[in-house]
Chains A and B, each alone.
Chain A
Amino acid sequence: MKDDITREDRVDALGGMGCKRKRVEDARFTQGKGNYVDDIKLPGMLFGDFVRSPYAHARITSINKEAALAIDGVVAVLTAEDLAPLGLHWMPTLAGDKQMVLADGKVLFQGQEVAFIVAKDRYVAADAVEMLDVQYEELPVITDPYEALQSDVVLREDLDTNVPGAHGPRKHHNHIFTWEVGDEPATNQVMDDAEVVAEESMYYHRTHPCPLETCGSVASMDKINGKLTLWGTFQAPHVVRTVASMLSGIEEHNIRVVSPDIGGGFGNKVGVYPGYICSIVASIVTGKPVKWVEDRMENLMSTAFARDYWMKGKISATKDGKITGLHCHVTADHGAFDACADPTKFPAGFMNICTGSYDIPVAYLGVDGVYTNKAPGGVSYRCSFRVTEAVYFIERMIEVLAIKLNMDSAELRRINFIRKDQFPYKAALGWEYDSGDYHTAWDKALKAVDYDGLRAEQAQRVEDFKAGKTRKLMGVGLSFFTEIVGAGPVKNCDILGMGMFDSCEIRIHPTGSAIARLGTISQGQGHATTFAQILATEIGLPADSITIEEGDTDTAPYGLGTYGSRSTPVAGAATALAGRKIRAKAQMIAAYLLEVHDSDVEFDVDRFTVKGAPEKFKTMKEIAYAAYNQAIPGLEPGLEAVSYYDPPNMTYPFGAYVCVMDVDVDTGVTDIRRFYALDDCGTRINPMIIDGQIHGGLTEALAVALGQEIAYDKQGNVKTGTLMDFFLPTAWEVPNYETDFTVTPSPHHPIGAKGVGESPHVGGVPCFSNAVNDAFRAFGLTHTNMPHDHWRIWKTANALGLHD
């Protein structure tokens, strides 16, 4: 062993924060050794499958189980009637509404769960699904929220319009809530007085997170010891345990919920689905384990969608481009049940971050939630709660205003950014931004892409197009986004009453390795890699010697789960603080071993040294051993710590993106020539994982902007129920991404980290969309809605007379 080991060598040996540690998860994922819900097989396990409604709105006149039950291998057929005695035919949603577990007298969307067939295997179950005789009487279908608010047709007959909903009074039988933030009279006054006002209506279409692994669960009720075990695709396993206990009456200590490996979530696996409930009931009824796993079509048709926001905006400014006010109204299509996954007090999530990265003195946001005959949901697809909608809205409004002012939109952004010296910045709609340096990031981005050169090239392209030399236009898409992640402070953020803290529990083993358990659950984010890095730096043991475990409620401390980029801001903070508790005890042990006073030793990478005498030290490995083999006066044996972290504020990552795109006006085909993404997520834990997250989030942004939608026809039939029509990009459709960064740490987070997984999606969608819109700006286009697929781009070009 060499004896000239430097301090740098010791830092490197830890594999701590800031290094590009390879993902420890990938060995099993890339070799097919992951353990997903559908990999779980238990002795005697039965399989459940749903009979789903072919209609978007219909009354059920009869259900005859005879033919289905006659099939060999069918064990049970459950309907709402069977669940009613248990009070489980309806369930509460995360948004304070309730949702049918199985159709109770009527169906409200195509694909709704009508009956649950339990059979000896999934093939028999699927056969029986075909044989169940359900008679329907069709009812008028409403797929448009504006029509819903005018219609006499009552979608939710179970609700009394005169009784306020979870978020206040309801104006109409198809109305869910009105949520208002900001000062509307003052905003209107500013608009009236403004030198310039730009207005735009935009539809952020309905889409779907579409994780590669669909949703599913395995329930196993052990009737001997009264214990229920539930494996499932849960982004929040602890909350699922609490809900399962409340619904079933089984005491919470008798329920064990396990999220095994999860193949992507993106918000789709936050909610509680009828399949989970039905698998539990079926296991209780049959006394056998019951598995339910949906197929791709079921996932797209019935589990939580995202977006579906009809937004009307007004933005006012001086003639020089200084923004004076912002007004936003949203008509939010929530589908048949309000099953949005938002903190309780935020029925439109954090849509009130819609003033974006700009210093806007006065603003107002109003959101009306509406029922329609579409699938329920409204989850945050790779974003914090409704932040993609907010950022898309403001980044489109900036472009619309730039057109009205006849200004360059990069410059318009620059003169309106919140300045570095204004942080912490209190926004007009209530949030307090923790830190930022927008001008630096923007200048770096524009320089990197040679922005002026791009604009010159674009101007030349317009000339060439007009001269008949080319049929391709060039768009330069800009976006500057501010995310709001890390929900959140318990004082204003909860899910079903559970405060949105998170947790970490660390146990150091005698030989200097460790296990840490967290209340979060990775779905591909690489927690086992990055949380070990945080700990390595905090406690001075190598990341490779630290196991990270999540997702088993019997062993992990309570936490609110993983979504909304909250793992690093909340559980990451708990991890650092738990690590510091370990270190505090280690300091006392070290001082005892070195025979000095506690305050005479200091932490140095992987050891405690005597101040002023660095040759006198005890490594963390030695300290760990001492914690278990020595009687240290005044100290309990062992080395463990737990931390529950209630964040004082959200974190506010930001970034600057530029997309250069060619648009063929004849075919509508787009070609992304360049995509530059600068992200500032505060302290960077693992740059390689950050790059991976950015590539993934941008790809999902490209999908949404360029074609990914859940579309319905007038009868409420889903037109995009398979991957033939639902756009899931492959490597072929994805451009090469250039990533870059600045570092502005969060001042209130223990390690200054802000969260990054969702930023690229939030900032990417408007960037791609702005590129398409920008390509047509020289020909008079102000705004065209997403998704920008071929025929819609062609239609835009056609309407502008570019085919004449």
Chain B
Amino acid sequence: MKDTGTSDAALVELCRRGNTRAFDELVGKYQKTLFNVALRMTADYDASEEVTQQAFVRAYERIASFDPRFKFFSWMYRILVNTALDHLEERKRHDRLDDEVPSDEPDPSDLGEREDSEAMLQAGLMDLTAEQRAVIVLRHFEDLTYEEIGAVLDIPEKTVKSRLFSARMQLRAVLVKRGYRFHG
């Protein structure tokens, strides 16, 4: 996990004393990383903005209950991933209700100007379950260790490992099914 150092702890302490500028600094520091996690989880640019914003607001509302023994960034990751999972659950419910309406499923290529392989990768990620996607995103895009992923998702390391292994196999299968060619 990224070295968040003591400066995060100091900023969090200032936030707890009501200093909103300190929280704004934390937002500035982590918005890009967290936005990209949300984007990988939802494949929807607008929804990712909403999810990231909501996660920051939730964090601010609960900053008083933050345990300083933990890293702020792990805690923030956890809030973001949970917010993204909530959003996906809500979207699924909404889609079920709107079966008759033309699908509003996000376009996996809605990622700015990306290469085809990128779009294919994102489409493959969206074919995984949200739980599988979360471990892939945290491991491969955020470079978190098993232990850190376990802390973010609140699951034992053993579960992280088995979920990650099966998610990789599943991702490989869906990419092959979508016609992606792996090169030697």
A and B form one complex: no
Instruction: List the interface of chain A (C-beta within 8 A of B).
Output: none
Instruction: List the interface of chain B (C-beta within 8 A of A).
Output: none
